[in-house]
Amino acid sequence: MSRYIYERKQVCICQKTKYLGVIICNDLKDDGDILRHLRNSYARSNNIIRKCHNCSVGVKLRLFHAYCCITYCCQLWVYFNKGSYLKAKVAYNNMHRRILGYNRRDSASSMFANNAIDTFDALLRKNIYGLKKRIFIINNDLIRVMYNCFEIVNGPMWISWANSLYTVNM
């Protein structure tokens, strides 16, 4: 008869970890991932400003769209402080201003309209809609069952998506 001796090891609980490029916190808040997005966005925009300051406006707009409109996994942001979200939104506006040489006091909405660039909220809505559309048309039976599950459809992420995508007229 063999006897196994098991060592007792303590499980380390970390405050946050990075998985597939997304910051996951133990309190399930998305503030850490929003701040990761914020740092990466500023780094990309500063790189564009430093290397392409002499380029034409058309080239700068293409670069802004290609490098600064990247919001990887922003569709999954559900639990966050309003301040973190506003910081990301202000950073997006400031990056656009700095790359194209606008003044700090210039209107962000007219700046985006004149250059045919989506605002941060519109970019987030497009990403949410794209993910929801891909989930809806997928042929995987497991995903379809989860999509039709009452707990998932009435869960916080789906409610957040509905609030972002649809408006209720009263």
3-state secondary structure 35-86: HHHHHHHHHHHHHHHHHCCCCCHHHHHHHHHHHHCCCCCHHHCCCCCHHHHH
What pLDDT, on the 0 to 100 scale, is given for residue 43? 92
Q: Which two tokens stand for residue 60?
A: 């700068």
User: What's phi and psi for 96, nearest 5 deg?
Assistant: -65, -40
Give residue 26's pLDDT. 85
pTM of the model: 0.77
Distance, CA of 152 to CA of 150 (rounded, Å): 5
Per-residue pLDDT in tens (0 to 9) along the chain, 170 residues: 566 666 777 877 888 888 888 888 888 888 888 998 889 989 999 999 999 888 898 899 888 888 888 777 888 888 888 999 899 999 999 999 999 888 888 888 888 888 888 888 888 889 888 888 888 888 888 877 777 776 677 777 777 888 888 765 44
Give the span between the Cα atoms of 22 and 28, in whole angstroms. 12
